[in-house]
Amino acid sequence: MRTTHLVQSAYRSLALHRSRTILTILGIVVGIMAIMIVMSVGQAAENLILNQVEGLGARTIAIAPGREPTGPADPAIIETLYGDSLKERQFHALKNKANVPHLTEVMPVVFAIETISYEGETFAPMIIGATELISFLFDVFTDQGRFFTTDEVTGYAPVVVIGKDVREELFPHDDPIGKKIKVKGNNLRVIGTLPAKGQVLFFNFDKAIITPYTYAQRNIFGIKHFNRFITQVDDPVNIDATVLDIERTLRETHGITDPDNDNFFVGTQDELTSTVSTVTGVLTSFLVLVAAISLLVGGIGIMNIMLVAVAERTKEIGLRKALGATRKNILFQFLIEALVITLVGGVIGVLAGAILSYGISLLLSNIMDAQWDFAFPVSGAILGIFVSALVGIVFGLYPANRASKKSPLEALRYD
């Protein structure tokens, strides 16, 4: 029997039991659709984070307190145990060209979430204390007013630049420039506003205010340490050498001789990129495996339906064998029916998954107020089609083999 005849016969058989076929296909659609959505959202999330990391520039090195994280629970432990390991002494040591010759800029950063207010209106933004360099290192510039100056940083000036969301919440109808907002009993004069910027690494500048770190340390947070050092190298080729110089310098200031006892860690763009890719890759793979469980259920459903079909069509099988159909013909006929169900389900699942993923990307862009771009996972589409075909073969083989083994005489006598 020719392959075209087998396909036509399979199509007629499936069309004859349309409702049962559609419900069986639906099981495959759900599984493939889930895989597509997980892979699409995972890839989009990775792209978003990597874009934020790359936005810092290839010459940027970040220094944080504590040992380098080795797992999801590490960051909180690090901040608790080593939150005060970066201080003025480390700041001045890094600024010394004799210690780190290739560093061109060193910016201390302090940050925390606090409630601010203006004429009865309140908001809880991230308060960022930094130097005037934050504008250039993070590529954030005012659309109204100005940033604070070096003199204002050294002079503990009570001035602030506010993000887009802060402006909209506190000054929906007023010009904020020159107005004073209150933070923990302190009055800060607004000297500039930021356009929409969104998330850049660990800061959402739309929901933040920026003030001189000197003022933030003394008057708002009441601390003498820093949460981060953001530094810049003269040339990307000197990144590795500079990391070694930074580590050596900080160990000397802390009297550390064993690197295993470091109370700080240094992160470059490449390291952050690698970490993000690894974490998102592991999470995506895990979620894909979870989504694949529905494919297993769908495959079992296919086997069940095909076994029912074999029982219902026993006389048909006997008649075909009596007319000359071989065991191989019967085997392929039922196997093709299972393949048609899974392949159609796979194609529909890929299309439905892509459409839903696009809708999710639009929804997340609005909810997160970030540039969440839709990512079509080509590998996910190929995997979906391949897996659906594999499910059809694996779960269709047993019923097809059972049908092919039926004796013509027994099948014709079946009632």
CA-closest candidate to residue 65, choices 128, 111, 99 = 111
Number of domains the chain contains: 2
For the ranges 63-67, 84-88, 367-371, which has the lowest average pLDDT?
A: 367-371
Q: Which tops the pLDDT comparison, 208 or 383?
A: 208
Residue 95 domain-assigned (yes or no) = no
CA angle 22–26–32, rounded 5-degree value: 145
Question: What pTM does this model have?
Answer: 0.61
Query: Residue 264's beta-bridge partner residues?
Result: 65
Q: 333 and 223 in one domain? A: no
| E strand spans, 239-338 | 264-268
Chain segment 136-163, per-residue pLDDT in tens:
888 889 999 999 999 999 999 999 999 9
Residue 280 domain-assigned (yes or no) = yes
Eight-state DSSP code of residue 228: E
Q: Which string of DSSP letters, residue by residue, matches 60-93?
A: EEEEEESSPP-STTHHHHHHHHHTT--BHHHHHH
Q: 175 and 302 in one domain? A: no
Residue 66 domain-assigned (yes or no) = no
Q: Which tops the pLDDT comparison, 25 or 208?
A: 208
pLDDT at 397: 74
State the first-to-last Cα distance of the chain, in angstroms, to the nearest integer: 27
Q: d(Cα 101, Cα 95) in Å, to the nearest integer? A: 9
SS3 assignment, position 131: coil
Q: d(Cα 274, Cα 278) in Å, to the nearest integer? A: 6
Query: Residue 160's beta-bridge partner residues?
Result: 190
Q: d(Cα 167, Cα 118) in Å, to the nearest integer? A: 11
Q: 186 and 131 in one domain? A: yes
Q: 409 and 311 in one domain? A: yes
Q: 279 and 175 in one domain? A: no
For the ranges 58-62, 180-184, 246-250, which has the lowest average pLDDT?
A: 58-62
SS3 assignment, position 209: strand
Residue 309 domain-assigned (yes or no) = yes
Q: Which residues contact 133 (CB under 8 A, 6 or more apart)?
A: 105, 107, 230
Are 215 and 129 within 8 A, CB to CB? yes
CA-closest candidate to residue 299, choices 405, 389, 386, 403 = 389
SS3 assignment, position 377: coil
Q: Which tops the pLDDT comparison, 339 or 181?
A: 181
pLDDT at 276: 61
Chain segment 41-82, per-residue pLDDT in tens:
877 777 766 665 555 566 788 888 877 655 544 444 444 444
- Domain boundary (233, 264, 284) is at 233
The helix (run of H) or strand (run of E) holding residue 229 is strand 228-233
414, pLDDT greater than 80: no
Q: d(Cα 109, Cα 117) in Å, to the nearest integer? A: 23
Give percent of the chain above pLDDT 70.
75
pLDDT at 244: 92
Radius of gyration of the chain (CA): 32
Q: Which tops the pLDDT comparison, 389 or 369?
A: 389
Residue 330 belongs to what domain range? 3-53+275-413
Q: 326 and 197 in one domain? A: no
* Rounded average pLDDT over 116-144: 91
Q: 409 and 318 in one domain? A: yes
Q: 336 and 222 in one domain? A: no
Output the six-digit token pair for 91: 């700041």
- Domain boundary (199, 233, 267) is at 233
Q: 171 and 287 in one domain? A: no
- Compute the residue count for the chain: 415
Give me the residue label for tokens 């919440």.
169
Output the six-digit token pair for 97: 């060209």
**Residue 253, amino acid:** T
Chain segment 188-203, per-residue pLDDT in tens:
999 999 998 877 767 8
